[in-house]
A and B are shown apart, each in its own frame.
Chain A
Amino acid sequence: MNAPLRRVGVVVMVLFGLLFANLNWIQAYKADEYRNSDYNGRVQVAEYERRRGNIEAGGTAFATSKETSGELKYQRTYPGGAKYAHVLGYKPVNLADTGIERIENDFLAGTSDALIANRIKDMFTGDETGGGNVLLTLSKRAQDTAYDQLRNNELGAKKGAAIAIDPRTGAVQALVSMPSFDPNPLASHDTGAASAAYNKLEADPERPLANRALAETLPPGSTFKIVVAAAALENGITKDTQIPAGSSWTPPTSGTPIRNAAASICPESQVTLMDAVTESCNTGFAQLGVRLGADKLKEKARQFGFEQEDLTVGQLGEDGLTVAPSRTGAMQAPGGETDPAALAQSSIGQRDVKMTPVEGALIAATVANDGTQMRPYLVKQLLGPDRTTSYYNADPQELRRPVSGQVASDLRDMMVSVVENGTGRKAKFNGYTVGGKTGTAQSGPNTPDHGWFIGFALDRNGTPISAVCVMLEEAGSGGSAEAARIAGRIMQAAAADSGSR
């Protein structure tokens, strides 16, 4: 019986040899891959050892870390819930981080180069001082108003966005995308529950994770007329120039007539540019666009910020939340020949013209700020873990000058007229001069129209306080008026906040 026993001994050796070889494979060859795997929670555990800093707006923390007794020492919580979700983003254990949590991750986590002195101090004292704090430009009041008003809009629209910007600086005062989501479950230390919550949001047909204010484009409708009007003003037309209008106009090569939203709008054969803007005269702008030509319209749109592919909103000069490029489309035939039908439709913000809400707000802000467009930003200040040392203070940057001060002044008069006498009356509020432009965009043959409003508010001295864009996706009839109403409320809140500052 000894020969088989010896062979069994050899078999055991072979089995253990296999185990040994396999452990070599896993712990030596595959070690790096496994160590850095997305599914490996250990990377995060180290990150969770140090208290992550707050993200604050108006003195209140909307992302903060609480100590727990679990394996991961700190639990990230978002006291604002869904209200700030699209700005803050989230910092999950097992998923990709987003928003300010992502772009300021190093500073919040305390691992950025700026905080190296703190880390060295920690090494000697044995403390963990935690990460730095990020102070946002958001106005609590404006953000509250934007979120509540969008959610409770009178048309019951489910999707939309609102963004408010300080025209003088580019500081974002409010940023809401609807529907929103609660980031707290995503930050759960129970990674299975976090994944389930994420998958549920991801599968939602209304796409709550999408940031509609920055990263989604839709046809802007008549709000685009401000761009066309700017091009006209720079090409020999004044706000009092009579331009051809009419209740219907058919572009030379196309059988589809351009009509106005209502029969009462510019049925006359000619109206002033001022009136065309005030009443939102489609026939007038279609003919004006064809007269100016595709190149001039596209160029003006580009000067306002269309086609920019690398704009981000976050910390000036650093990374930020990605802004989708707004597009004008070709506006002409593929060979470059003039296509009056395409040009006419593009001039009233249809066809292939697509715009983000932030671009709409930037157009309004430019008009309010005498033609100078400031670079939008969200991060006002980076405050050290001790809350006294400041590591960064936003220094507003000029992004571009799309129009001259004179043209901006004329546009401002026309937009104020829209709110005083025209389609944007609901944006009005006491004590401030409000200007704006409504827009109603057809999205498809069987879907309700999108309602838009871009506008601004000037105080008694003519100083711009806020510029805003509200978009109600597939809101249907009355969408632009409701957008105007919400925009007015947001600007009022922003104005109240800036007054108290």
Chain B
Amino acid sequence: MATIYIPTFFRQITKGNEYILVEGSNVLESLESLSYLYPEIRDLIFDSNKQVLRHVNIYINNHEIHELEGLDTLVNTGDQIAVIPALAGGAMTLSTEKNANQSALKPEEVMRYSRHIIMPQVGPQGQRKLRDAKVLVVGAGGLGGPVALYLALAGVGTIGITEFDVVDLSNLQRQILHQTRDIDKPKLKSAKETLGLYNPHVEIIEHPMPLTSDNAMDIIPNYDIVVNGADNFATRYLVNDACYLAGKTLVDGAILLFDGQLTVYKPGYCCYRCLYPDPPPPGMVPSCAEAGVLGAITGIIGSMQATEVFKQILNIGEPMVNRLLLVDALTMQFREMKLRRDPSCPLCGDNPTVKELIDYDAFCGSPPIEVPA
């Protein structure tokens, strides 16, 4: 005959009784007597093999039973048995333990990003996701500028930029990363300086070359998301194909005159080739240099591209996947077209013919990009 001490949590089952007298010559028999009196308690103590659950501790006269004979420990009259559910927890699951020190946000970061962190869709965990994210921005010009700027301001930890051009006076009507004093400087250098002044915590990875079939698969797989700020068709097809082949999401934007376009290509959904299987004949679509572009439209579309990147990293909202937004700044009308994956797409269709990167200059009939010396 022993007494079993019932902790508070189990007393809802024992109708408030804290001490229960039970029959039994050992601990197992005593606990079975208790389960006989209060059947609901059995599953809280034992597993299906009649072993004590890992999260329950059994003590007899203040000794844990595994220090004694376990469930076979003999029980004498007057002994006191106690059933104690574990009280435990921990900062995180084992798989993330290694990153424990890196994951905490520093006070300066908490303050800097407080307007983001305060939103439930972001929070400290979202801010850490931003910090851990790696985003590649193709081009540091009209679109790449506002994209890289908002990513840097938000604390996206690693931003890669591919850019080979130098700052020209005619860029300054729209390209916000560069200033008058930067004329003739490599755009990449100017971009890195500007972004560093805005947020020194962000690492800018420089890729001082045009993205080509030869280097795209060395660069793109190192990033989580790619943002397109390219100004020519050859690069658009290249980035589209490389992102699909590398399994990366591509946030695409385009601008010309007073118009802008925005969409997100994600493997498994509509890609650029589904939308435009073939490039336009060379010379048919004018470039920004030939036709002009409103400076502010680069800010509109670039900011939207940055927004889509945030949504991807934070996994919130409804991405612009299978959707194409058409912006007309003159009427300030935003129209949306539904897109769908084309089963006959040469890249992402059911029977793909494009299985590796090709010669995009030949494909588009465009002269190869000239890299300034």
Binding between chains A and B: no
Which residues of B approach A to under 8 Å, CB–CB?
none
